[in-house]
Structure formats: C-alpha cells, structure tokens
Amino acid sequence: MKFLLLLTLSAWPLLRASELQINSVPAGYTMTHYAFQADPETHRARIILSYTWPDTVNGGDTGPGLNSVPVQIGGLTYDASRAEIVFSEAGRQSVCATVRPRRFLLWSWTSVSPTGTCVVNSRRVPHALDTGLRIQTRETTDTFFGVQSPGTSK
C-alpha cells in the first residue's frame, strides 16, 4: 500500500491543472510534431499528432512516424466567421490557430497557422498496475493539451 501511495504522489506533479491529457502511447514512442486541422463545413477542429517509435526490427533508433493520430478535444472548434480555431473553457476563449485559404493556379488548400497560445507536449508518465498479486509500474508517453496564459513562454 505504501508503494502505491508513493508512486501516485510521485506522478502527481506531472499532471498540471491547466492541461488535458489527450493521448497515451507506449513509453518507446516520441511525439515529433502536432498540427491543428479545421473543417469549414462542420465548424469542427481537431489536432493531428505524429510519433516515432523504436525500430527494433531493423536495429535502428527510430521507425517511421505514424501517418496521423487525430484527436478530438471538447471545446476545440472552428469559427468560420473569424477563420480561427478556438478553444473554449469556463467562459474563456483562446485562439489556437488562424485558418487561411490559399490558391496557386488551379490548386487550392487551407493553411493553418498556430498562434502559440495553445500548446501540445508529451512526456513519460509512470503508472501503477495492480495485477492482483503485486503492483507493477510501467511508463507511457502521455500527450497533453494546454492553453498558455498571456506572458508565458512556450
């Protein structure tokens, strides 16, 4: 019982009140980047996460990244009238990204530029697993979404 309590308390500072855990993968994975994505027709927005992982088959350090891991977050929406991806929480709105249509000759696409207000980061987090006979620890790479206060660096 003491071991479980110590493990829980040691993991406590890793979870910050202003962060939402949005994904969890095995500890060998590393998040390489993230991107905001918007759908102007449905006014929905999401985050796409990319990871690399240990390449144990070919003896290399890392393998290819996952093509896309889409993550839907409650409160994250696309405001078409302002062309912005906005996160709303507790009556407060934060602009996470701006969305602009682009065109070159016959091609058109949408450019999404993060504002830096909303950040995504990942870190290894220890977890306790009760097998019924003993408590084992394992680590995962957990990914978090947060909104920075004005004047806070990335």
Residue 108 in any domain: the answer is: yes
143 in any annotated domain:
yes
Lowest mean pLDDT: which of 4-8, 27-31, 56-60, 96-100? Answer: 4-8
Type of residue found at 145: F
Mean pLDDT, residues 5-14 taken together: 34
Cα dihedral sign, 56-62-68-70: positive
Q: What pLDDT digit, counting tens, does each position of 66-113 carry?
A: 557 899 999 999 999 999 999 998 888 999 999 988 889 888 888 899
Look at residue 153 and tell me if it is in a domain.
no
Positive or negative CA dihedral for 10, 11, 13, 17? negative
Question: What residue numbers bound the domain in which 64 lies?
Answer: 2-147
Does residue 103 lie in a domain region? yes
Transcribe 115-147 into DSSP letters: -SSEEEEEEEEEEEEE-SS-EEEEEEEEEEEEE
Tell me, yes or no, whether 38 lies in a domain.
yes
Residue 39 inside a domain? The answer is yes
How many independent structural domains does the chain possess? 1
pTM for the predicted model, two decimal places: 0.74
Instruction: With respect to residue 57, please indicate whether it lies within any of the assigned structural domains.
Output: yes
Contacts 24+ apart (CB under 8 A), 57-64: 62/30
CB neighbours (10 Å) of residue 29? 23
Q: What percent of the chain has pLDDT over 70?
A: 75
Secondary structure of residue 56 in the 3-state scheme: coil
The confidence score (pLDDT) of residue 103 equals 86
Rounded to the nearest integer, the mean pLDDT of the chain is 80
Report if residue 127 sits inside a domain. yes
| Alpha carbon separation from 49 to 32, 66, 72, 101, 121 (Å, rounded) | 8, 8, 11, 22, 10
